[in-house]
Every structure is written in structure tokens, then in C-alpha cells.
Amino acid sequence: MLTDTTTGGGVHLPHDSPASRSGHTRDDCVRTPALFSRLTRLKEGPERDAVRAELVAAWLPMARRIASRFRNRGEAAEDLNQVAAVGLIKAIDRFDPARGAFESYAVPTITGEVKRHFRDRMWAVRVPRRVQELRNQVRTARRELTERPGTPEPSTSEIAAHTGLTDEQVTEGLGALESFSTLSLDATAGDDAAAVRSLGDTLGQVDPSYDVVVDREAAKLALRALPERERAVLYMRFFEDMTQSRIADRLGVSQMHVSRLISRSCARVRREALQ
């Protein structure tokens, strides 16, 4: 059963009904202009729903033909048929009979609905629409350039020449080809059966040294802003590993004074670094 969830009304097509089978001919669609005229005059209610369902039944084979153009792209045929049917319902609801033939309006509407489904629902890694379009251009070019059996995989430059894109754009599109689907981290990495490991095993570990680098960069400016004497005290304490007593002897001050200088300087550096 197909249920329209995009609008207020419901359109129900049982699987075993004539409307759900492919036995329709183009004559079924030729007779629909009168139904469209009638639909525009009816108010919401059972009668309008019945006319709407009859129109859906007449044009559903066309919607399915459009859906079939997108097969073998990672989506189930039944799901594609459902998406195309939603596009058909939208086309019927929005169509103005005074503006021409329904088919001219419905085909781009249904096609757009299916393309939006792939764009919004099927990408494992979300990429900008611009990059998705580059991917489609590159994919089409690769198919056209390898139509003859035995033709080698085209180079980036060959694809660029064929499409009119730059090498950088082609590279970006090629990268997006890998974003449509993903591998599990449990998938096997490499071809060496003697050293089987998963993709997860190839991931690096967190390196605590990166945090040290970040902290040092954050403290650099604050250290440079300290008075020269305080910088000297911190250098002797933390880089030369001198005790507070030895620092006091070198500077000719008390150990307590050195302790206060270190505490005050460290507090200032910490405060500046965290801002």
C-alpha cells in the first residue's frame, strides 16, 4: 500500500489492484485531463480523494519508469518506487491544468524528488552540494571514457579535458566518489591473509604530546610578557631544575621571596593562557 504522508489526504493503492500492476497503457494517461479539471474544482473530502487516487493510479507506471533510471546506485528498487510515488503525488497536487500537459510538469518534479532522496539520505559522509555535482560529472565522464572494452582507467587530466573541469575539481570529485558509502571498522584491511587485521586496527592512538604542544603555544605569549627577572626565575626553576634555595642564593634574595615570585608568575601565565 502507498500512503501519501506529504499532504493531508491519503492515497491507498493495494498491491493486488490493477493500479499497482504495470498493465497500464498510455491511454490511461490520455484520459486524465478531465480528472485534473475535476480535481481543481473539488474541495477537500472523500470525492476529491477518490479522483486524486485515480490520477495516481493512471500515472504511477510513469513514476516507476523514472525510478528505474536510478537503479544500481545502492538503493532498493521498492524504496525508489516509493520516493518516485511521493514525487508523483506532489506533482498532482501542484499541477495547474491551464499551464499545459501534466507529463511535462510531472517528469522533472518526480526526477527532482528522487535526486533529492539520493542527495539528502544516501550519502554516508555529508559533502556540499557543489562537491556532489562534481562527483556526478566525474562519474559520468569515467563511464563515457571507458565505454570501449579494454579501455584503461582515464587519468585526472583526461577527465578534466572531457568535462571542462580543472584538475583540482576532478580530484575533488574523485574524492567524493568514496563518500557515498563507508566501510565498517571491522572490515579486513589489506590482502595479506597471514596478517589479517581490521580497519579499526590501523587507526592511530591519541598522542598526549599534542596537548603539550598546545599548552606551550598558549603559554608562550604570557611568558614573554613577564618581567625579565621573573622569566629568569622560572627558567632556573623549570628548565635548569634548580631548587628555590639555589635560585635565592644566585639572586641574593630570600627563599621565601623566590617562592612568591614563582607562584605569582605561574598564576599570571595560567590566567593569560586560559583567556
Going residue by residue through the chain, which has 275 residues, state the pLDDT in tens, using 9 for 90 and above. 454 444 444 444 444 333 443 344 454 565 688 888 888 888 889 999 998 999 999 999 999 999 998 887 767 888 889 999 999 999 999 998 888 889 889 999 999 998 888 766 655 556 677 877 888 888 888 888 888 777 888 899 999 999 999 999 988 888 777 665 555 666 666 655 555 677 667 776 777 777 778 788 888 888 888 999 999 999 999 889 999 999 999 999 999 999 999 999 999 988 888 87
Domains contained in the chain, CATH given: 18-121 (1.20.120.1810), 129-184 (1.10.10), 209-273 (1.10.10.10)
Amino acid at 119: R
CA 118 to chain centroid, in Å, comes to: 10
How far is Cα 106 from Cα 72, in angstroms, rounded to an integer?
Answer: 23
CA-closest candidate to residue 133, choices 89, 88, 163, 96:
163
Residue 258 DSSP one-character state: H
Instruction: Using a cut of 0.75, tell me whether the model's pTM lies above it.
Output: no
Residues in CB range of 82: below 8 A, 6 or more apart: 2
Helix-strand-coil split of the chain, %, nearest 5: 65, 0, 35
